[in-house]
Structure 1
Amino acid sequence: MTNALFVVSEEGYWAEECIEPLTTLDEAGVDVTVATPTGEPPVVDEVSLDPDDVGEEQVERYREIDETDERLNDPVPVAGEDAADYDAVVFPGGHGTVWDVNQDSDARRLLRDAVADADGVALVVCHAVGLLAFTREESGEFLVAGRDVTGFPNAWEQDIVDEYDRLHDGRKLPYWVEDEVVAAGGNWDAELESETSVTVDGDLVTARGPGSSSEAARTLLEELSIETPA
Protein backbone atom coordinates (compact mmCIF):
# COMPACT_ATOMS: atom_id res chain seq x y z
CA MET A 1 0.00 0.00 0.00
CA THR A 2 1.18 3.51 -0.82
CA ASN A 3 1.92 5.52 2.31
CA ALA A 4 2.57 9.14 3.20
CA LEU A 5 3.89 11.09 6.17
CA PHE A 6 2.25 14.42 7.08
CA VAL A 7 4.48 16.82 9.05
CA VAL A 8 2.06 19.21 10.77
CA SER A 9 2.63 22.33 12.87
CA GLU A 10 1.99 22.46 16.60
CA GLU A 11 2.00 26.27 16.39
CA GLY A 12 -0.97 26.58 14.04
CA TYR A 13 -1.73 24.60 10.88
CA TRP A 14 -4.17 25.89 8.27
CA ALA A 15 -7.21 23.62 8.30
CA GLU A 16 -7.83 23.37 4.58
CA GLU A 17 -4.15 22.88 3.74
CA CYS A 18 -3.89 19.85 6.00
CA ILE A 19 -7.33 18.30 5.96
CA GLU A 20 -8.10 18.48 2.23
CA PRO A 21 -4.89 16.62 1.24
CA LEU A 22 -5.32 14.25 4.20
CA THR A 23 -8.86 13.23 3.27
CA THR A 24 -8.08 13.14 -0.45
CA LEU A 25 -5.24 10.70 0.15
CA ASP A 26 -7.48 8.69 2.49
CA GLU A 27 -10.09 8.37 -0.25
CA ALA A 28 -7.41 7.20 -2.68
CA GLY A 29 -6.36 4.42 -0.29
CA VAL A 30 -3.08 5.98 0.85
CA ASP A 31 -1.98 5.04 4.37
CA VAL A 32 -1.23 8.31 6.20
CA THR A 33 0.88 8.86 9.31
CA VAL A 34 0.94 12.25 11.06
CA ALA A 35 4.06 13.63 12.72
CA THR A 36 4.78 16.85 14.62
CA PRO A 37 8.07 18.32 15.85
CA THR A 38 7.65 17.10 19.43
CA GLY A 39 5.02 14.41 18.98
CA GLU A 40 2.34 16.54 20.62
CA PRO A 41 -0.98 16.99 18.74
CA PRO A 42 -0.92 19.72 16.10
CA VAL A 43 -2.94 22.87 16.70
CA VAL A 44 -5.34 24.25 14.10
CA ASP A 45 -5.15 27.97 13.38
CA GLU A 46 -8.53 29.39 14.41
CA VAL A 47 -8.30 31.99 11.65
CA SER A 48 -8.58 29.14 9.15
CA LEU A 49 -11.96 28.23 10.65
CA ASP A 50 -13.73 31.48 9.86
CA PRO A 51 -17.21 30.60 8.50
CA ASP A 52 -17.23 33.83 6.49
CA ASP A 53 -14.28 32.51 4.51
CA VAL A 54 -14.93 28.78 4.21
CA GLY A 55 -18.59 28.36 5.14
CA GLU A 56 -20.20 26.96 8.27
CA GLU A 57 -20.44 23.40 6.91
CA GLN A 58 -16.76 23.29 6.12
CA VAL A 59 -15.86 24.73 9.51
CA GLU A 60 -17.90 22.03 11.19
CA ARG A 61 -16.25 19.36 9.04
CA TYR A 62 -12.73 20.64 9.70
CA ARG A 63 -13.34 20.90 13.45
CA GLU A 64 -14.71 17.38 13.62
CA ILE A 65 -11.71 15.95 11.80
CA ASP A 66 -9.28 17.98 13.89
CA GLU A 67 -10.91 16.78 17.10
CA THR A 68 -11.57 13.13 16.22
CA ASP A 69 -8.94 11.96 13.73
CA GLU A 70 -6.71 9.56 15.68
CA ARG A 71 -3.66 10.44 13.60
CA LEU A 72 -3.97 14.15 14.34
CA ASN A 73 -4.61 13.48 18.01
CA ASP A 74 -1.81 10.98 18.50
CA PRO A 75 1.03 11.94 16.14
CA VAL A 76 4.58 10.62 16.15
CA PRO A 77 7.69 12.81 16.63
CA VAL A 78 9.41 13.76 13.36
CA ALA A 79 12.81 12.79 14.77
CA GLY A 80 11.85 9.12 14.70
CA GLU A 81 10.71 9.08 11.08
CA ASP A 82 12.62 8.20 7.92
CA ALA A 83 11.58 9.46 4.48
CA ALA A 84 12.68 6.15 2.97
CA ASP A 85 9.80 4.47 4.80
CA TYR A 86 7.23 6.56 2.90
CA ASP A 87 6.26 7.11 -0.70
CA ALA A 88 5.51 10.77 0.00
CA VAL A 89 6.14 13.37 2.68
CA VAL A 90 3.61 16.20 2.97
CA PHE A 91 4.12 19.54 4.72
CA PRO A 92 0.81 21.40 5.20
CA GLY A 93 1.04 25.15 5.70
CA GLY A 94 -0.15 27.72 8.17
CA HIS A 95 1.66 30.62 9.81
CA GLY A 96 2.60 28.26 12.64
CA THR A 97 5.11 26.47 10.42
CA VAL A 98 7.45 29.47 10.44
CA TRP A 99 8.07 28.86 14.15
CA ASP A 100 8.35 25.08 14.29
CA VAL A 101 8.29 22.90 11.17
CA ASN A 102 10.40 25.20 9.00
CA GLN A 103 12.99 25.51 11.77
CA ASP A 104 13.13 21.80 12.59
CA SER A 105 16.27 19.95 11.52
CA ASP A 106 14.42 16.63 11.24
CA ALA A 107 11.72 18.19 9.05
CA ARG A 108 14.50 19.47 6.80
CA ARG A 109 16.06 16.00 6.73
CA LEU A 110 12.74 14.43 5.76
CA LEU A 111 12.23 16.94 2.95
CA ARG A 112 15.77 16.54 1.64
CA ASP A 113 15.63 12.76 1.70
CA ALA A 114 12.16 12.58 0.13
CA VAL A 115 13.27 14.70 -2.81
CA ALA A 116 16.63 12.91 -3.15
CA ASP A 117 15.08 9.43 -3.12
CA ALA A 118 14.30 8.26 -6.65
CA ASP A 119 11.10 6.65 -5.35
CA GLY A 120 9.97 9.52 -3.12
CA VAL A 121 8.12 12.78 -3.56
CA ALA A 122 7.42 15.76 -1.31
CA LEU A 123 4.44 18.13 -1.25
CA VAL A 124 5.00 21.47 0.50
CA VAL A 125 2.11 23.91 0.93
CA CYS A 126 1.86 27.66 1.58
CA HIS A 127 3.97 28.91 4.52
CA ALA A 128 5.61 25.50 4.85
CA VAL A 129 7.38 26.33 1.57
CA GLY A 130 9.62 28.42 3.82
CA LEU A 131 11.19 25.11 4.84
CA LEU A 132 12.93 25.14 1.47
CA ALA A 133 14.87 28.25 2.48
CA PHE A 134 16.56 26.34 5.30
CA THR A 135 17.03 22.89 3.74
CA ARG A 136 20.36 22.03 2.16
CA GLU A 137 21.52 19.14 0.01
CA GLU A 138 24.26 16.93 1.43
CA SER A 139 26.65 18.97 -0.73
CA GLY A 140 25.71 22.07 1.25
CA GLU A 141 23.75 23.71 -1.57
CA PHE A 142 20.22 24.88 -0.88
CA LEU A 143 17.69 22.26 -1.99
CA VAL A 144 15.56 24.93 -3.66
CA ALA A 145 18.38 26.49 -5.69
CA GLY A 146 17.39 26.50 -9.36
CA ARG A 147 14.03 24.83 -8.72
CA ASP A 148 10.67 26.20 -9.84
CA VAL A 149 8.41 26.74 -6.83
CA THR A 150 5.29 28.49 -5.65
CA GLY A 151 4.20 29.37 -2.13
CA PHE A 152 2.60 32.03 0.05
CA PRO A 153 3.45 35.34 -1.66
CA ASN A 154 4.56 38.66 -0.21
CA ALA A 155 1.59 40.29 -1.94
CA TRP A 156 -0.73 38.36 0.35
CA GLU A 157 1.41 38.57 3.47
CA GLN A 158 1.40 42.36 3.41
CA ASP A 159 -2.37 42.31 3.75
CA ILE A 160 -2.16 40.18 6.90
CA VAL A 161 0.63 41.61 9.06
CA ASP A 162 0.72 45.14 10.46
CA GLU A 163 3.48 47.69 9.88
CA TYR A 164 5.65 45.86 12.43
CA ASP A 165 5.12 42.43 10.83
CA ARG A 166 2.80 41.37 13.64
CA LEU A 167 -0.03 38.89 13.09
CA HIS A 168 -3.54 39.15 14.48
CA ASP A 169 -2.43 37.39 17.68
CA GLY A 170 0.46 39.78 18.27
CA ARG A 171 3.26 37.43 17.22
CA LYS A 172 5.89 39.00 14.98
CA LEU A 173 6.44 37.13 11.75
CA PRO A 174 10.15 36.25 11.82
CA TYR A 175 10.51 36.12 8.03
CA TRP A 176 8.48 36.25 4.82
CA VAL A 177 8.42 32.99 2.91
CA GLU A 178 8.88 34.44 -0.56
CA ASP A 179 11.88 36.54 0.47
CA GLU A 180 13.71 33.62 2.07
CA VAL A 181 13.04 31.13 -0.72
CA VAL A 182 14.16 33.58 -3.39
CA ALA A 183 17.30 34.37 -1.36
CA ALA A 184 18.06 30.63 -1.29
CA GLY A 185 17.94 30.50 -5.09
CA GLY A 186 14.40 29.34 -5.79
CA ASN A 187 12.68 30.30 -9.05
CA TRP A 188 9.58 31.79 -7.47
CA ASP A 189 6.27 32.24 -9.26
CA ALA A 190 3.09 32.31 -7.18
CA GLU A 191 1.00 32.88 -10.32
CA LEU A 192 -1.00 35.65 -8.72
CA GLU A 193 -3.25 35.99 -11.75
CA SER A 194 -4.33 32.34 -11.50
CA GLU A 195 -7.04 30.93 -9.25
CA THR A 196 -4.72 28.17 -8.06
CA SER A 197 -0.97 27.61 -8.15
CA VAL A 198 0.71 24.21 -7.94
CA THR A 199 4.23 23.67 -9.28
CA VAL A 200 6.04 20.40 -9.95
CA ASP A 201 9.83 20.32 -10.26
CA GLY A 202 11.16 16.79 -10.23
CA ASP A 203 10.14 15.11 -6.98
CA LEU A 204 9.15 18.41 -5.37
CA VAL A 205 5.55 19.65 -5.50
CA THR A 206 4.73 23.08 -4.05
CA ALA A 207 1.37 24.81 -3.61
CA ARG A 208 0.59 28.49 -3.07
CA GLY A 209 -2.04 28.42 -0.34
CA PRO A 210 -5.46 27.26 0.86
CA GLY A 211 -7.26 27.52 -2.46
CA SER A 212 -4.65 25.31 -4.08
CA SER A 213 -4.78 22.53 -1.47
CA SER A 214 -7.15 20.21 -3.30
CA GLU A 215 -5.32 20.61 -6.60
CA ALA A 216 -2.05 19.96 -4.77
CA ALA A 217 -3.41 16.72 -3.35
CA ARG A 218 -4.58 15.58 -6.78
CA THR A 219 -1.20 16.48 -8.26
CA LEU A 220 0.54 14.45 -5.57
CA LEU A 221 -1.63 11.45 -6.40
CA GLU A 222 -0.68 11.84 -10.06
CA GLU A 223 2.99 11.89 -9.09
CA LEU A 224 2.38 8.68 -7.16
CA SER A 225 0.57 7.17 -10.17
CA ILE A 226 -2.65 6.83 -8.17
CA GLU A 227 -6.03 7.54 -9.70
CA THR A 228 -7.68 10.58 -8.19
CA PRO A 229 -10.97 9.82 -6.39
CA ALA A 230 -14.07 10.96 -8.28
Structure 2
Amino acid sequence: MKVLFVLTSHDKLGDTGKKTGFWVEEFAGPYYTLKDKGVEITLATPKGGKAPIDPSSDTEDASTESTERFHNDKEAQERINTTHKLSDVNASDYDAVFYPGGHGPLWDLANDATSIKLIETFNEQEKPVAFVCHAPAALKNVKGTDGEPLVKGKKVTGFTNSEEKAVELVDVVPFLVEDMLKENGGIYSKGDDWSEYALQDGRLITGQNPASSKKVAEMLYDLVK
Protein backbone atom coordinates (compact mmCIF):
# COMPACT_ATOMS: atom_id res chain seq x y z
CA MET A 1 0.00 0.00 0.00
CA LYS A 2 1.30 3.44 -0.95
CA VAL A 3 0.04 6.61 0.74
CA LEU A 4 0.99 10.18 -0.12
CA PHE A 5 1.29 12.66 2.77
CA VAL A 6 0.85 16.30 1.75
CA LEU A 7 2.21 18.85 4.22
CA THR A 8 2.21 22.65 4.23
CA SER A 9 5.16 24.80 3.11
CA HIS A 10 3.77 27.88 4.91
CA ASP A 11 5.53 29.00 8.09
CA LYS A 12 4.19 32.50 8.89
CA LEU A 13 1.32 32.87 11.36
CA GLY A 14 -0.46 35.77 9.66
CA ASP A 15 0.93 39.16 10.70
CA THR A 16 1.82 38.06 14.24
CA GLY A 17 5.54 37.68 13.53
CA LYS A 18 5.23 34.14 14.89
CA LYS A 19 5.91 30.90 13.06
CA THR A 20 3.51 28.14 12.05
CA GLY A 21 3.66 25.04 9.86
CA PHE A 22 2.41 21.49 10.31
CA TRP A 23 1.44 20.02 13.69
CA VAL A 24 3.93 17.32 14.69
CA GLU A 25 1.42 14.88 16.24
CA GLU A 26 -0.84 15.10 13.17
CA PHE A 27 2.07 13.95 11.04
CA ALA A 28 3.77 11.56 13.47
CA GLY A 29 0.66 9.73 14.75
CA PRO A 30 -0.59 8.78 11.27
CA TYR A 31 2.95 8.26 9.92
CA TYR A 32 3.77 5.56 12.47
CA THR A 33 0.25 4.11 12.49
CA LEU A 34 0.60 3.42 8.75
CA LYS A 35 4.33 2.71 8.62
CA ASP A 36 4.00 0.03 11.31
CA LYS A 37 1.41 -1.69 9.09
CA GLY A 38 3.91 -1.81 6.23
CA VAL A 39 2.53 1.14 4.26
CA GLU A 40 4.97 2.91 1.94
CA ILE A 41 4.75 6.66 2.62
CA THR A 42 5.87 9.55 0.40
CA LEU A 43 6.00 13.14 1.71
CA ALA A 44 5.29 16.17 -0.46
CA THR A 45 4.83 19.93 0.02
CA PRO A 46 3.96 22.75 -2.39
CA LYS A 47 7.55 24.04 -2.42
CA GLY A 48 9.39 20.77 -1.82
CA GLY A 49 12.30 20.56 0.60
CA LYS A 50 11.85 21.21 4.32
CA ALA A 51 8.32 21.14 5.71
CA PRO A 52 8.08 23.70 8.53
CA ILE A 53 7.13 22.44 11.99
CA ASP A 54 4.71 24.58 14.00
CA PRO A 55 6.74 25.50 17.12
CA SER A 56 3.57 25.30 19.27
CA SER A 57 3.32 21.60 18.41
CA ASP A 58 6.91 20.92 19.39
CA THR A 59 6.56 21.59 23.12
CA GLU A 60 6.41 19.45 26.26
CA ASP A 61 2.64 20.12 26.51
CA ALA A 62 1.96 18.86 22.98
CA SER A 63 4.21 15.82 23.38
CA THR A 64 2.81 12.34 22.64
CA GLU A 65 4.28 8.89 22.21
CA SER A 66 4.35 9.52 18.45
CA THR A 67 6.09 12.91 18.70
CA GLU A 68 8.71 11.41 21.03
CA ARG A 69 9.30 8.64 18.50
CA PHE A 70 9.67 11.25 15.74
CA HIS A 71 12.26 13.17 17.76
CA ASN A 72 14.36 10.00 18.01
CA ASP A 73 13.84 9.00 14.38
CA LYS A 74 16.60 10.43 12.18
CA GLU A 75 15.12 8.87 9.04
CA ALA A 76 11.71 10.50 9.54
CA GLN A 77 13.32 13.86 10.30
CA GLU A 78 15.41 13.61 7.16
CA ARG A 79 12.24 12.90 5.15
CA ILE A 80 10.56 15.99 6.63
CA ASN A 81 13.59 18.03 5.56
CA THR A 82 13.60 16.68 2.00
CA THR A 83 9.96 16.44 0.88
CA HIS A 84 9.06 16.04 -2.78
CA LYS A 85 7.63 19.00 -4.64
CA LEU A 86 3.87 18.58 -5.01
CA SER A 87 3.92 19.35 -8.74
CA ASP A 88 6.25 16.37 -9.28
CA VAL A 89 3.79 13.94 -7.68
CA ASN A 90 1.37 11.75 -9.63
CA ALA A 91 -1.88 10.59 -7.99
CA SER A 92 -1.81 7.38 -10.04
CA ASP A 93 1.25 6.20 -8.06
CA TYR A 94 -0.66 6.09 -4.75
CA ASP A 95 -3.59 4.30 -3.15
CA ALA A 96 -4.64 7.24 -0.96
CA VAL A 97 -3.65 10.74 0.19
CA PHE A 98 -3.45 12.13 3.71
CA TYR A 99 -3.15 15.77 4.80
CA PRO A 100 -1.82 16.55 8.32
CA GLY A 101 -2.94 19.85 9.83
CA GLY A 102 -1.33 22.72 11.67
CA HIS A 103 -2.28 26.30 10.78
CA GLY A 104 -0.04 26.38 7.67
CA PRO A 105 -2.57 24.78 5.28
CA LEU A 106 -5.02 27.67 5.85
CA TRP A 107 -2.63 29.89 3.91
CA ASP A 108 -1.10 27.69 1.22
CA LEU A 109 -2.94 24.39 0.65
CA ALA A 110 -6.38 26.04 0.71
CA ASN A 111 -5.49 27.93 -2.47
CA ASP A 112 -2.79 25.77 -4.03
CA ALA A 113 -3.89 24.85 -7.56
CA THR A 114 -1.65 21.75 -7.65
CA SER A 115 -3.06 20.46 -4.36
CA ILE A 116 -6.65 21.17 -5.43
CA LYS A 117 -6.15 19.30 -8.70
CA LEU A 118 -4.42 16.44 -6.87
CA ILE A 119 -7.34 15.92 -4.45
CA GLU A 120 -9.79 16.11 -7.35
CA THR A 121 -7.76 13.48 -9.22
CA PHE A 122 -7.66 11.12 -6.22
CA ASN A 123 -11.43 11.52 -5.97
CA GLU A 124 -11.93 10.88 -9.71
CA GLN A 125 -9.77 7.75 -9.37
CA GLU A 126 -12.05 6.66 -6.50
CA LYS A 127 -9.24 6.65 -3.94
CA PRO A 128 -9.53 7.76 -0.30
CA VAL A 129 -8.66 11.32 0.71
CA ALA A 130 -8.08 12.07 4.42
CA PHE A 131 -7.56 15.26 6.40
CA VAL A 132 -7.13 16.12 10.08
CA CYS A 133 -7.64 19.26 12.18
CA HIS A 134 -6.81 22.34 9.99
CA ALA A 135 -6.01 20.21 6.94
CA PRO A 136 -9.65 20.18 5.71
CA ALA A 137 -8.73 23.78 4.73
CA ALA A 138 -7.22 22.10 1.66
CA LEU A 139 -10.79 21.19 0.58
CA LYS A 140 -11.91 24.82 0.40
CA ASN A 141 -11.75 25.06 -3.41
CA VAL A 142 -11.92 21.36 -4.30
CA LYS A 143 -14.79 20.26 -6.54
CA GLY A 144 -16.34 16.84 -6.89
CA THR A 145 -16.95 15.16 -10.26
CA ASP A 146 -20.32 16.98 -10.38
CA GLY A 147 -18.66 20.40 -10.23
CA GLU A 148 -20.04 21.10 -6.74
CA PRO A 149 -17.79 21.46 -3.67
CA LEU A 150 -16.42 18.02 -2.78
CA VAL A 151 -17.71 18.32 0.80
CA LYS A 152 -21.26 19.27 -0.23
CA GLY A 153 -23.78 16.88 1.33
CA LYS A 154 -21.00 14.88 3.01
CA LYS A 155 -20.47 14.30 6.72
CA VAL A 156 -17.33 16.21 7.69
CA THR A 157 -15.47 17.55 10.70
CA GLY A 158 -12.40 19.70 11.30
CA PHE A 159 -10.91 22.11 13.83
CA THR A 160 -13.85 23.73 15.62
CA ASN A 161 -14.53 27.45 15.99
CA SER A 162 -14.42 26.97 19.77
CA GLU A 163 -11.00 25.26 19.56
CA GLU A 164 -9.73 28.13 17.39
CA LYS A 165 -11.08 30.56 19.99
CA ALA A 166 -9.30 28.63 22.75
CA VAL A 167 -5.94 29.02 21.00
CA GLU A 168 -6.77 32.74 20.44
CA LEU A 169 -6.23 32.71 16.68
CA VAL A 170 -9.75 33.48 15.43
CA ASP A 171 -8.63 36.97 14.36
CA VAL A 172 -5.35 35.75 12.86
CA VAL A 173 -6.42 32.94 10.52
CA PRO A 174 -7.71 33.74 7.01
CA PHE A 175 -10.86 31.67 7.66
CA LEU A 176 -12.32 29.21 10.16
CA VAL A 177 -12.34 25.56 9.09
CA GLU A 178 -15.76 24.85 10.65
CA ASP A 179 -17.37 27.85 8.92
CA MET A 180 -15.80 27.04 5.54
CA LEU A 181 -16.97 23.42 5.59
CA LYS A 182 -20.52 24.54 6.40
CA GLU A 183 -20.46 27.27 3.73
CA ASN A 184 -19.40 24.64 1.16
CA GLY A 185 -22.43 22.54 2.05
CA GLY A 186 -20.70 20.02 4.28
CA ILE A 187 -22.79 18.29 6.97
CA TYR A 188 -20.50 19.42 9.76
CA SER A 189 -20.44 17.84 13.21
CA LYS A 190 -17.97 17.73 16.07
CA GLY A 191 -17.11 16.08 19.35
CA ASP A 192 -16.10 17.87 22.54
CA ASP A 193 -13.18 20.26 22.13
CA TRP A 194 -9.84 18.40 22.03
CA SER A 195 -11.52 14.96 22.06
CA GLU A 196 -11.01 12.26 19.42
CA TYR A 197 -13.59 12.65 16.65
CA ALA A 198 -13.31 11.44 13.06
CA LEU A 199 -15.81 10.82 10.28
CA GLN A 200 -15.88 8.84 7.08
CA ASP A 201 -18.31 9.55 4.27
CA GLY A 202 -17.59 7.38 1.27
CA ARG A 203 -13.92 7.91 0.44
CA LEU A 204 -13.65 11.19 2.38
CA ILE A 205 -12.21 11.00 5.91
CA THR A 206 -11.90 13.99 8.25
CA GLY A 207 -10.68 14.34 11.84
CA GLN A 208 -11.37 17.19 14.24
CA ASN A 209 -8.07 17.89 15.99
CA PRO A 210 -4.64 16.46 16.97
CA ALA A 211 -6.29 13.83 19.20
CA SER A 212 -8.08 12.47 16.12
CA SER A 213 -5.00 11.99 13.93
CA LYS A 214 -4.34 8.29 14.56
CA LYS A 215 -8.04 7.47 14.21
CA VAL A 216 -8.05 9.10 10.76
CA ALA A 217 -5.01 7.02 9.73
CA GLU A 218 -6.67 3.81 10.96
CA MET A 219 -9.86 4.60 9.02
CA LEU A 220 -7.78 5.36 5.93
CA TYR A 221 -5.93 2.05 6.25
CA ASP A 222 -9.16 0.09 6.67
CA LEU A 223 -10.60 1.75 3.57
CA VAL A 224 -7.62 0.84 1.36
CA LYS A 225 -6.60 -2.60 2.61
TM over 0.5: yes
Q: Larger deviation: 182-191 or 132-141? A: 132-141
- 2:135 paired residue among 123, 128, 131: 128
1:169-184 matches, within 5 Å, as: 172-184=172-184
- 1:54 paired residue among 63, 69, 90: 63
What's the offset of the Cα at 1:105? Answer: 1.1
**2:98 corresponds to 1:90:** yes
What's the offset of the Cα at 1:115? Answer: 2.3
Uncovered stretches (5+) of structure 2, i.e. residues with no partner: 11-20
What's the offset of the Cα at 1:116? Answer: 2.6
**2:122 corresponds to 1:114:** yes
1:65-214 matches, within 5 Å, as: 65=73, 68-118=76-126, 120-161=127-168, 165=171, 172-192=172-192, 195-214=195-214
Task: Label 1:161 to 1:111 Cα distance change in 2 as closer, same or farther (>3 A).
Answer: same
- 2:45 paired residue among 36, 49, 54: 36
What's the offset of the Cα at 1:19? Answer: 1.0
TM-score (norm 2): 0.88
Structure 2 counterpart of 1:217? 217
Q: Percent identity?
A: 34
Task: Label 1:189 to 1:147 Cα distance change in 2 as closer, same or farther (>3 A).
Answer: same
TM-score (norm 1): 0.86
What's the offset of the Cα at 1:70? Answer: 3.3
Structure 1 counterpart of 2:16? none
Task: Label 1:79 to 1:217 Cα distance change in 2 as closer, same or farther (>3 A).
Answer: same
Q: Deviations over 1:31-52 (max 9, x none)?
A: 1100000112101111012212
Structure 1 counterpart of 2:18? none
Q: Larger deviation: 104-113 or 151-160? A: 104-113
> 1:91·1:125 contact (CA, 8 Å) conserved in 2?
yes
State the AA in 2 paired with 1:180.
M
State the AA in 2 paired with 1:93.
G
Uncovered stretches (5+) of structure 1, i.e. residues with no partner: 166-171, 226-230
State the AA in 1 paired with 2:223.
E
What's the offset of the Cα at 1:23? Answer: 1.3
1 or 2, which has the higher helix percentage?
1
Partner Cα distance (1:82, 1:190) in 2: 33
Q: Deviations over 1:3-57 (max 9, x none)?
A: 01000112200000011111111111111100000112101111012212426x7
Structure 2 counterpart of 1:169? none
Number of aligned residues: 215
Partner Cα distance (1:195, 1:115) in 2: 28
SS of 1:35's equivalent in the other structure is strand
SS of 1:199's equivalent in the other structure is strand
SS of 1:152's equivalent in the other structure is coil
Task: Label 1:66 to 1:147 Cα distance change in 2 as closer, same or farther (>3 A).
Answer: farther
State the AA in 1 paired with 2:122.
A
Task: Label 1:142 to 1:71 Cα distance change in 2 as closer, same or farther (>3 A).
Answer: same
